Amino acid sequence: MSLNTFGHLFRTTTWGESHGLAIGCTVDGCPPGLALTEADIQPWLDRRKPGQNKYTTQRQEADEVRILSGTYQGLTTGTPIQLMIDNTDQRSKDYGDIAQSFRPGHADITYHQKYGLRDPRGGGRSSARETASRVAAGGIARTVLATLVPALKITGYMVQMGPHAIDRSRFDPAEIERNPFWTPDPQAATDWARYLGELRKSHNSVGAIIEITATGVPPGLGAPLYAKLDSDLAAAMMSINAVKGVEIGEGMAAAALTGVDNADEIRMGQNGPDYLTNHAGGILGGISTGQPVICRFAVKPTSSILTPRQTITADGQDTDLITKGRHDPCVGIRAVPVGEAMMALVLLDHWLLDRGQTGGARGQIGPATL
Amino acid sequence: MSLNTFGHLFRTTTWGESHGLAIGCTVDGCPPGLALTEADIQPWLDRRKPGQNKYTTQRQEADEVRILSGTYQGLTTGTPIQLMIDNTDQRSKDYGDIAQSFRPGHADITYHQKYGLRDPRGGGRSSARETASRVAAGGIARTVLATLVPALKITGYMVQMGPHAIDRSRFDPAEIERNPFWTPDPQAATDWARYLGELRKSHNSVGAIIEITATGVPPGLGAPLYAKLDSDLAAAMMSINAVKGVEIGEGMAAAALTGVDNADEIRMGQNGPDYLTNHAGGILGGISTGQPVICRFAVKPTSSILTPRQTITADGQDTDLITKGRHDPCVGIRAVPVGEAMMALVLLDHWLLDRGQTGGARGQIGPATL
Amino acid sequence: MSLNTFGHLFRTTTWGESHGLAIGCTVDGCPPGLALTEADIQPWLDRRKPGQNKYTTQRQEADEVRILSGTYQGLTTGTPIQLMIDNTDQRSKDYGDIAQSFRPGHADITYHQKYGLRDPRGGGRSSARETASRVAAGGIARTVLATLVPALKITGYMVQMGPHAIDRSRFDPAEIERNPFWTPDPQAATDWARYLGELRKSHNSVGAIIEITATGVPPGLGAPLYAKLDSDLAAAMMSINAVKGVEIGEGMAAAALTGVDNADEIRMGQNGPDYLTNHAGGILGGISTGQPVICRFAVKPTSSILTPRQTITADGQDTDLITKGRHDPCVGIRAVPVGEAMMALVLLDHWLLDRGQTGGARGQIGPATL
Amino acid sequence: MSLNTFGHLFRTTTWGESHGLAIGCTVDGCPPGLALTEADIQPWLDRRKPGQNKYTTQRQEADEVRILSGTYQGLTTGTPIQLMIDNTDQRSKDYGDIAQSFRPGHADITYHQKYGLRDPRGGGRSSARETASRVAAGGIARTVLATLVPALKITGYMVQMGPHAIDRSRFDPAEIERNPFWTPDPQAATDWARYLGELRKSHNSVGAIIEITATGVPPGLGAPLYAKLDSDLAAAMMSINAVKGVEIGEGMAAAALTGVDNADEIRMGQNGPDYLTNHAGGILGGISTGQPVICRFAVKPTSSILTPRQTITADGQDTDLITKGRHDPCVGIRAVPVGEAMMALVLLDHWLLDRGQTGGARGQIGPATL
């Protein structure tokens, strides 16, 4: 059962609103005895932090995380780890206009309908601010994975902004950290900068597609049938604000493939199976193959824009609404570290689940000397 | 929570292998006092049944469902409902070849790696046969919904086979039940018949995209943030065999939209909000808006084909594998009723969850006389 | 979690009514590759089977269990194991009288109030017959434990019938299997036989206290704070029909002890801590100490008796009710194997949980050479 | 799944150590639109607060709760409510002695064995300090219940201290709030004061039995079979520190009763069933009857005492340990408000669960005009 909790064995429960006193999360089920301080988590938060360049919201948040429980003398104790991040830059007046109106394309109206009230300050619980908690929890997951599965590496990057996809022939991993869009295509970085600048000037916003890749994932993570690795990844990514689609490997394009083309053929390699392709995105039957796990998700454009849009008020009046404030013209940019965090949470959770059920034993392929 | 259980309050636990004695599921948390017999469930199973036309596997299964518990004198008692479907057409000899080899693109290898063994007969637990249990459970969910939310209607249909998408201008709901592909586009039905016939002759298979629409969904179903309606739908659809992508509303195409275009503008209608568009697919902030809920998923092509593909054996030898047997050339066809069933399970579960937390009260929009 | 499912990682979902076609359960999360056939489960069911002597109900049930899924060639596959037991001796006419009346002290009235209807045949879902599913699931758990934790041994026995407690100075483990009450006190066995015979003749029934002991439990099983080993044991035992109290170690008597007396003092032994006493019942802070885990529970007397009792009918009339049929004069007798099964389910579940989170590493006590 | 989370729909996740910066909990699934401020919670915490009289630890904690999320303008929003209580009186030096030794009868050793390390300051996570979070969460549950089930009333009191039980013929509800032991027997209050004073002087501690009664519980709360109301109550109470036994109604004494005596006979009353007795403690078949729900639990004596006890150190040396510090001579006293809180959490959770599944409809007893 869930609501605001995510995970089976490594479980994250998040809380907090955009303009409340603080946000945070409880991370339960963490393996004990691992080194963990705020310094292991903060760098991931810093990547997501708003206001770092002109392409993200200018809200200024230090996003300093504090560990309130679950560690002793710098080691995890196996008990719940509470993470807290103070909200320091709340300008509630920015949001006064929307307290009575519903931004089209935003959760304003559904929260109102379901709960009868909502916290209008910055979107309240539905704000992308909640994703800071995910990134913080993901920082713990990454720290644990670095010890338990040291070969595992998670990398997120943007592969499309608006209608403009990257050219995969220019894919350069080193480029990802060099541009504000976390894109591996240097030409796209240049083009998108111009494109996004114009969009913002025209009081508009735009969507994006993010790809998260995990290499070094051992085979055997996942579980039939409703806790499949891809099923949990889909839930994880779709639970991020503004995400409208999730793909594994070929994703929606798998529909257009034939069985002959889609088969990831296998040859026996030195250390086990060698796959000739990876249409499957590293997951077959809900269980990891050992190939890179590849997941993509689409982020819709921010609904909070300066262009007037038709909507209604809580008392049933038609109105045209402009959303002032400090909003991301492409909220997909900051979704990159969020997607990485969700990937880390899912993979660690399934690694622990697998250790619980199977002890980590793996079926033999090839001679026993392998 | 999960493994082989799905749902929060209305929970389905499935069991069974393709060529075991039977398959089935336990449906727990069903509201009491509702009329339910096998006759309410069987029609949905009949829609999914294999061997009904030349485009699906020729395995002959009666797929007769029996209710073993949870009803009394034709009424649900509120206690767990056990559904069982005997496996009557097991031809294990068809699968002898693959006991030692791993079909490329199939779960054979990952089950072997995770568990150290697998039931090779018909794919065992990873077989699409398991989806019969989902359809049966979905039949119960639909029966319950028919009483609790009578306006709700779920319709599934195929919108793309291989590279061939339907033309939405030809969308005719009445057409869906008239062709073997459950497509609303009569021209596509004709074209696909020819296309799929040729594919089968060439010992190949192909993927597809299925769309599931639910109309009459009340606003307010869903819950922030990890049990969002779209998050649970994504998990549900991705848990179906061979699914590689899930979309809500615009889905992956949302990335290409601007905020101006993506905003579903609202005007005040006679009975509440009137939305001018439905890019959101009926869900904002994880909660239903009252518009149609629209979900799409891509099914990859069957990996069991008669064309030889390179692979390896359990003892590490390279080999070329042909998968004989009676396989679906486009398994996406039978995924239509499965997707409908998962939609029914998710919507009923969230309807019950919402009734639990809020009592079904809804926030007022407009004057109280509405 | 919940409703009709029990366990975290090793999860049992039960279904079925007393006089339906069958009862059974799905066991999910079982480690793969372990030998398991019906022959591993049937002996435990045979111990619980009714009609074996004159002190239990004369209902004749073969209680033959069938494994419908989850094994292949006699080995567990890691996928859900479905167990089914046919109901062969249904005499619904025995229960005609109570369809409209509520047996005092029985679930008849609460099922009616909650669900608006109930299956009156043999108590329906509330019948002790459901415990056969628990015993079957427990048989799987024991089989798994025999491989993973071979030193672990679970023994259940009756320590009190009605007001007559055993004399612990006469405790003889070998005696347990020699008498129909599974009591370790041979004198009690004789006395209780006479006592129970008289009770039955006087159309009465009586309660009992069962003790379940597990030796060879490794230290470290359990988890703070809501999944404590003792908390899960309490839930497990209290979920058995007719149980009204659960104790760990000293149990309710712990209230009367002082801190000086209750401290289980420790000396360093050859192989780790040696405890001088075991007031704690093998659990401290929700985690096993390595001492025997000791759990007791009280079973109330069967409410189905031949002595008339005042009650009401569904249409609100006062009446006096005699419950005919074949009821256990002391249902606590058959609760012995049920309690053993629940202990096995809880211990295996926590063993797997612990392996998931900690990998089974244990904190060092004493020099590293230990 | 649980670990540090409790509840199905109304879910509490607690975190924090005795001498960390703070403790707290996240309450998820709260119904929206209900008035809730710190003032609704603080009085319950004040009842549990240490240092209020000479019979509880002299640790001085303000125990001021802060609501960090989940409310807006004094109303619950339906999103997770974060409660935080700062730890203000940490004297870690008091606990220096036990960092390397294991208090006999305490979780020191099992935490060390399971996790390889522990936070020795004040018992860390295993401290009774965690129960403040439960009381705070229970304060929310009570506030919600006051609106949804206004007739429901929860009362806790001590019925035994050490070997000294109350005389039920002197039971006076008004007395409960008048003495430091929350006992309804004024004579017991006097006797216990003397008894406990002497125990403390002799550097000892003692156990207790607490009874929690809930009146005004509607019939129909609970669910077969593993989420029975009594099963969840047993888990709830057993999850409290130092609890070793839980009873419903007659509890362990039910074993000594005959079926004739134990039957709670029923007559038809003006407003439904009138029960002549309440041996069942208000629960039959796991579902509430509408009678008072009665639950008792035994709290063992504090293991932290000034009398030396034999134990060992982490490096395997025998030693004699005196536990200095400010410990409760009868920790059962402060368990009274904790037990009340757990009762509130369980009842509200089941009320919401029942509303989800059945909509709160109740089976008719008697003529429809009732």
Query: Are the C-beta atoms of C206 and D263 separated by less than 8 Å?
Result: no
Residues 238-297 of C with CB under 8 A from D: 238-239, 241, 243-268, 273, 276, 279-281, 283-290, 296
**pLDDT at D91 (0 to 100):** 63
State how far the alpha carbon of C278 is from the alpha carbons of A184, C171, C261, C289, D110, in Å.
63, 17, 11, 10, 14
Residue among C126, C304, C362 whose CB faces D224 most closely? C126
Question: Picking from B51-55, C264-268, D91-95, D193-197, which range would have the lowest pLDDT averaged per residue?
Answer: D91-95
Q: Are A195 and A207 in contact (CB under 8 A)?
A: no
Nearest to C125, CA basis, from D285, B144, D230: D285
- Give how far C276 is from chain D: nearest CA, Å: 9
pLDDT at C213: 98
pLDDT, position C1 = 40
State the pLDDT confidence band at B369, using cuts at 50, 70 and 90: low
Long-range Cβ contacts of C60-66 (<8 Å, 24+ apart)? C60/C88, C60/C89, C61/C87, C61/C88, C61/C89, C61/C132, C62/C86, C62/C88, C63/C132, C64/C38, C65/C38, C65/C41, C65/C136, C65/C139, C66/B21, C66/C38
Whole-number pLDDT of residue C122: 85
Give the residue with greater pLDDT, B271 vs C153. Answer: C153
Smallest CA-to-CA distance from D41 within D126, D144, D128 is with: D144
User: One-letter amino acid identity for B52?
Assistant: Q
Backbone phi, then psi, for C113, in 5-degree steps?
Answer: -70, -40
Count how many residues are written for chain B: 370
Judge whether C1 is closer than 8 Å to chain A, CB to CB.
yes
DSSP D77: -
CB A121 within 8 A of CB D73: no
Q: Are A8 and B2 in contact (CB under 8 A)?
A: yes
Q: Omega before A9 cis (within 30°)? A: no
| Min Cα–Cα distance to chain A from C126, Å | 25
Predicted pLDDT at C94: 56
Q: Does residue B359 belong to the interface with chain A, where contact is any CB pair within 8 Å?
A: no
**Half-sphere exposure at residue B61, Cβ-oriented, CA atoms within 13 angstroms:** 27
* Minimum distance, in Å, between the CA of residue C18 and any CA atom of chain B: 10
Say how far apart CA A239 and CA C145 lie, in whole Å. 38
Task: Flag the least confident range among A255-259, B118-122, B134-138, C286-290.
Answer: B118-122
Mean pLDDT over residues B308-314, rounded? Answer: 95
d(CA D359, CA B355): 7
Asked if pLDDT for residue C92 goes beyond 70, the answer is no
Contacts of D357 in chain B (CB under 8 A): 9, 29-32, 78, 352, 356
Tell me the CA distances in angstroms from A48 to A24, A91, A190, B58, D171, one per residue in order: 15, 20, 21, 53, 61
Distance CA D102, CA D112 (A): 9
Q: What is the pLDDT of residue B14?
A: 97
The answer to whether B117 contacts C72, with C-beta atoms less than 8 Å apart, is yes
Question: Hey, CA dihedral for C68, C72, C76, C80, is it positive or negative?
Answer: negative
**pLDDT, tens digit, for every residue of D190-241?**
999 999 999 999 999 999 999 999 999 999 999 989 999 999 999 999 999 9
Residue C52 DSSP code: S
Question: Which residues from D are below 8 Å from C10, CB to CB?
Answer: none
DSSP states of B98-161: GSSB--TTSTHHHHHHHHS----GGGGGGSGGGHHHHHHHHHHHHHHHHHHSTT-EEEEEEEEE
Which residues, given as ranges, of chain A have pLDDT below 50?
A: 1
pLDDT tens profile B86-119: 998 766 565 666 788 999 999 999 999 999 999 9
D364 class by beta-carbon count within 10 Å (0-12 exposed, 13-18 middle, 19+ buried):
middle
Give the closest residue to A334 by CA, choosing from A66, A50, A13.
Answer: A50
Is C149 an 8 Å CB contact of chain A?
A: no
Q: Tokens representing C1?
A: 């979690």
Q: Do A264 and B8 touch (CB under 8 A)?
A: no
- Rounded to the nearest integer, the mean pLDDT of chain C is 93
Q: CB–CB of D303/C262 below 8 Å?
A: yes
* pLDDT tens digits along A253-306: 999 999 999 999 999 999 899 999 999 999 999 999 999 999 999 999 998 899
- Evaluate whether A82 touches D24 at the Cβ level (below 8 Å): yes
Residue C301: partners with Cβ closer than 8 Å, 6 or more residues away: C204, C205, C206, C207, C330, C331, D254, D257, D258, D259, D261, D262
Q: Are B41 and B65 in contact (CB under 8 A)?
A: yes
The pLDDT tens digits for A317-365 are 999 999 887 678 999 999 999 999 999 999 999 999 999 999 999 999 9
In this structure, what DSSP letter does residue B344 have?
H
pLDDT at C224: 87
CA nearest neighbour of D263 among D250, D274, D251, D277: D277
Is the Cβ of B353 closer than 8 Å to some Cβ of chain D? yes
pLDDT for C49 beyond 90? no
What number of C-beta contacts closer than 8 Å exist between B and C? 147
Confidence of residue C2 (pLDDT cuts 50, 70, 90): low
Size of interface A-D (CB pairs under 8 A): 151
Beta strands (DSSP E) in C216-292 are 243-248, 266-269, 272-275, 283-284, 287-288
Q: Select the more confidently predicted residue: C213 or A60.
A: C213
Cβ A254 vs Cβ A279: under 8 Å: yes
Task: Point out the residues of chain D with pLDDT beneath 50.
Answer: 1
What is the greatest pairwise CA distance in chain D?
A: 75
Q: Is B5 helix (H, G, I), strand (E, B) or coil?
A: strand
CB-nearest partner of D75 from A11, A68, A117? A117
CA distance D76 to chain B (A): 11
Average pLDDT, chain D: 93
Of C114, C224, C267, Cβ closest to residue D125: C224
Q: Is the peptide bond before A225 cis (omega within 30 degrees of 0)?
A: yes
Q: Provide CB contacts within 8 A for B330, sequence distance 6+.
A: B55, B161, B181, B196, B199, B205, B206, B207, B208, B301, B302
**CB contact, 8 Å: B8 with chain A?**
yes
Per-residue buried b or exposed e for A184-210, using 16+ beta carbons within 10 Å of the residue's own CB: bbeebbeebbebbeebbeeebbbbbbb
Per-residue pLDDT at B370 exceeds 90? no
Look at residue D98 in the predicted model and tell me its pLDDT.
Answer: 74
HEC assignment per residue over chain A: CCCCEECCCCEEEEEECCCCCEEEEEEECCCCCCECCHHHHHHHHHHHCCCCCCCCCCCCCCCCEEECCCEECCEECCCCEEEEEECCCCCHHHHHHHHCECCCCCCHHHHHHHHCCCCCHHHHHHCHHHHHHHHHHHHHHHHHHHHHCCCCEEEEEEEEECCEECCHHHCCHHHHHHCCCCCCCHHHHHHHHHHHHHHHHCCCCECEEEEEEEECCCCCCEECCCECHHHHHHHHHHCCCCEEEEEECCHHHHHHCEHHHHCCCEEEECCEEEECCCCCCCEECCEECCCCEEEEEEECCCCCCCCCEEEEECCCCEEEECCCCCCCCCCHHHHHHHHHHHHHHHHHHHHHHHHHHHCCCCCCCCCCCC
The answer, yes or no, to whether the previous bond of A233 is cis (omega within 30 of 0) is: no
Q: Is D11 helix (H, G, I), strand (E, B) or coil?
A: strand
